Chains A and B, each alone.
Chain A
Amino acid sequence: MKPILSFLPATIRGMIDKLPGHTAAAVEELRIREARSLEIVAGGESRFVAPDGTLADDPRAGYKPTRDDCLKLIDLLTNHSLYTFEEELRRGYITVAGGHRVGLAGKTVLERGEVKHIRDVASFNIRIARELIGVGRPLLPAIWDEAAGNVHQTLIVSPPRQGKTTLVRDLARLASAGGDTGTAGMRAGLRVGIVDERSEIAACVKGVPTFDVGPRTDVLDGCPKAEGMMMMIRSMSPDVLVVDEIGRPEDAAALQEALHAGVRVVATAHGRGVEDVRERPVMRRLLEERMFSRIVELSRSRRGESRCIVWDASGRKMAELAQERRREPGMVPC
């Protein structure tokens, strides 16, 4: 929670500061909407924050952020330099130092029918990024290709907020670090290239990752995925490429390129399950061409238990893993 506090205007910061400790440690999202109640999502539950820092279920009891609060918030989030975030404003989210993603909504400004940027930002969704060292460890044996001495072509599928990004980050770290990871046939670390379009995986500040992504990892920060994958293959000769949220036609072309260059790819995609992903034309083509030899379905139950099901390219179930959502000690609370 701490790193986020410095981005909040004084009024809201005071309220968040007063939250009880266990809630503050479990905060996943902070939603700030102008003239509507301040919402906080912790441990999967949504509550409203009253002006005195107590939590309420009644929306009327919550603090209503003012126009001034929102203006200050956007000023602080953009490091007082909104003009350096034009591309991000066009896409509707910005990533701040620490890898926390802030979704934005408000009045959009169009130019020739395309969204140019968001003016009058009235809704903020601050998603708190967590670094969970070791979450990928149980999964690694299931996606490890012993014959190739590398990971399989892996696609991780899950709905938003289930910990996809946290998982790929840890997989990148494990593959890059090598050594004793409890996976047979894995010794030396691999060269890992991360194409981090949204700056969420590595949370780079001025090009240097702030999350631990392993000692043999190169990060291309803020780069479009398709172009970034090609650049990485040409320039950094990685063994594994890690990308977040693929799904555009040009991503497929880049994936094919990577495959032919002998580079393994660990990618993520939004979707409830494999069937869901198959509905999307680009992804369907990729799956039909058996681009991915392992598909991991990630889900989280209401109680916060996370579950991984691993399939191979022909739809055979390879493994099923369940683990309690770890709170301590692996979790680094924000």
Chain B
Amino acid sequence: MLKLIGAVLVVLAGTMFGFAKASAYARRPRQIRQLIAAFQRLETEMTYGFTPLGEALLHISGQLEPQLAAMFRRAAEPLNAMTGVTAAESWREAVDACWKQTALSSNEREILSQLSFTLGTSDREDQAKHLRLAVDMLKAEEENARDEQRRYEKMWRSLGVLAGAFVVILMY
């Protein structure tokens, strides 16, 4: 009886693990998509709205998934509070702190930290250029992420159940 309960638990754990992995593959392209939209909005806010960076980041955070929104809010707060932190420092700090909670990979992280060097420190044209560059790079990553999603999402889902079942078979 105890063995049976154990077996059920093992299969359950395997399934859960597989689903968690699979959902990370599903989340990554979605979050990249959101980042792209966020940067495109940031470009509009900068070039047409003349919105200060802190305010713009805060506006944008309202339309993002909770994990990404937290990152944008965290970057915006020191800027709006005038604490003497530069935009680059604040942005990098936010990326570092909120990284773990998102489904983004180190490639996207690199793109974001590249952006930190120019954020808010040049004229509109230049800002727009850098944001567009980041968007283009993110689009390439999105393609990648979708590819991986197609390949691995289903695989992990079944792999979890199968691995659980495999362990159970070994147990008996």
Q: Are B50 and A84 in contact (CB under 8 A)?
A: yes
Interface residue total, chain A, C-beta cutoff 8 A: 20
Q: Are B52 and A79 in contact (CB under 8 A)?
A: yes
Measured CB to CB, the nearest residue on chain A to B83 is A6
Q: Given A10, A74, A84, which contacts B52 in the complex, CB threshold below 8 Å? A: A84
Interface flag for B86 (CB, 8 Å)? yes
Q: Are A75 and B120 in contact (CB under 8 A)?
A: yes
Q: Are B53 and A81 in contact (CB under 8 A)?
A: yes
Q: Given A13, A74, A79, which contacts B54 in the complex, CB threshold below 8 Å? A: A79
Q: Given B86, B123, B124, B126, which contacts A75 in the complex, CB threshold below 8 Å? A: B86
Number of A-B residue pairs having CB atoms within 8 Å of each other in the complex: 61
Chain B residues with CB under 8 A of A10: 84
Give the complex CA separation of A10 and B84 in angstroms: 7
Interface flag for B5 (CB, 8 Å)? no
Q: Given B51, B56, B86, B127, which contacts A72 in the complex, CB threshold below 8 Å? A: B86
Chain A residues with CB under 8 A of B83: 6
With A80-B53, A80-B54, A83-B127 known as contacts, the answer to whether A74 contacts B121 (CB < 8 A) is yes
Q: Which of A13, A80, A82, A86 has most chain B Cβ within 10 Å?
A: A80
Chain A residues with CB under 8 A of B121: 71, 74-75, 82
Beta-carbon contacts of B111-134 to A below 8 Å, as 1s and 0s?
000000001111110110000000
Give the complex CA separation of A81 and B123 in angstroms: 9
Interface flag for A164 (CB, 8 Å)? no
Interface of A is mostly: helix
Q: Are A9 and B120 in contact (CB under 8 A)?
A: no
Interface flag for B82 (CB, 8 Å)? yes
Interface flag for A78 (CB, 8 Å)? yes
Which residues from 47 to 96 on chain A have a C-beta closer than 8 Å to any C-beta of chain B? 71-72, 74-76, 78-84, 86, 89
Chain B residues with CB under 8 A of A9: 84
* Least Cβ–Cβ distance between A72 and chain B, in angstroms: 5
Q: Given B54, B56, B79, B123, which contacts A82 in the complex, CB threshold below 8 Å? A: B123
Which residues from 3 to 25 on chain A have a C-beta closer than 8 Å to any C-beta of chain B? 6, 8-10, 13
Q: Are A80 and B124 in contact (CB under 8 A)?
A: no
Interface flag for B22 (CB, 8 Å)? no
Interface flag for A225 (CB, 8 Å)? no
Interface flag for B38 (CB, 8 Å)? no
Chain B residues with CB under 8 A of A83: 46-47, 50, 120, 122-124, 126-127
Chain B residues with CB under 8 A of A89: 123
Measured CB to CB, the nearest residue on chain A to B82 is A6
Give the complex CA separation of A273 and B61 in angstroms: 55
Q: Are B122 and A80 in contact (CB under 8 A)?
A: no
Interface flag for B145 (CB, 8 Å)? no
* Least Cβ–Cβ distance between A271 and chain B, in angstroms: 34
Give the complex CA separation of A81 and B86 in angstroms: 10
Identify 28 residue pairs between A and B in the complex whose beta-carbon atoms are under 8 Å apart, listed by A's number: A6-B82, A6-B83, A6-B84, A10-B84, A71-B121, A75-B87, A75-B88, A76-B84, A76-B86, A79-B52, A79-B53, A79-B54, A79-B79, A79-B82, A80-B86, A80-B120, A81-B46, A81-B51, A81-B52, A81-B53, A81-B120, A82-B121, A82-B122, A83-B47, A83-B122, A83-B124, A83-B127, A89-B123
B interface residues (Cβ-Cβ under 8 A, vs A): 46-47, 50-54, 56, 79, 82-84, 86-88, 90, 119-124, 126-127
